[in-house]
Structure 1
Amino acid sequence: MSILMSQQQVKSEMSIQLMSKTMEMAESNSDSLTEMLETATVPHPDLGHQIDLKA
């Protein structure tokens, strides 16, 4: 009985650690994405606002 409880506790701790690591990776990825978007170059403000309809 104590072996089953010990195994269950190990599984539970492993699951919590895996979830924690997954959350850390997601946070790191979102920080990287935010940084990339902040440093992205902005196109010219008039680019794409005019359409040439002569054809």
Structure 2
Amino acid sequence: MDVALMSMALSQVQLQEQASLSVMKIAMNQAEGSALFLNKLMGEDNVQALQHATQPHLGGNIDIKG
């Protein structure tokens, strides 16, 4: 086999692996950002505000008559 041809092929494979890893790291960072956003969005305060918005009549009055 030709040594120069093998060297070029190896270099191309290494470049493809580096590009693939870079794309995977970008995707992982975006997924992490999305997960953090969802966790923040689904925090306790937001859930209570959403529940109150969908059923505003609940919890507004207290019946203290026995």
TM-score by length of structure 2 reads: 0.62
Secondary structure of 2:20 counterpart: helix
What letter is aligned with 1:4?
M
Give the total of aligned pairs: 44
Q: Could you list the runs of 5+ residues in structure 2 that have no partner in the other structure?
A: 49-66
Structure 2 letter corresponding to 1:3: L
Q: Secondary structure at the match of 1:36?
A: helix
The CA distance in 2 between the partners of 1:29 and 1:7, in whole Å, is 33
Question: Displacement of 1:14 after TM fit?
Answer: 0.2
Partner residue of 2:20? 18
**Greater C-alpha Rg:** 2
Return the structure number with greater relative CO, CA threshold 8 A, min gap 6: 2
Following superposition, the deviation at residue 41 of structure 1 comes to 4.0
Unaligned runs of 5+ residues in structure 1 are 45-55
Distance 1:4 1:41 in 2: 55
**Pairs within 5 Å for 1:1-55:** 1-42=3-44
Whole-Å separation in 1 of the counterparts to 2:11 and 2:43: 50
| TM-score for both structures, normalised by structure 1 | 0.73
| Runs (4+) off by over 4 Å | none
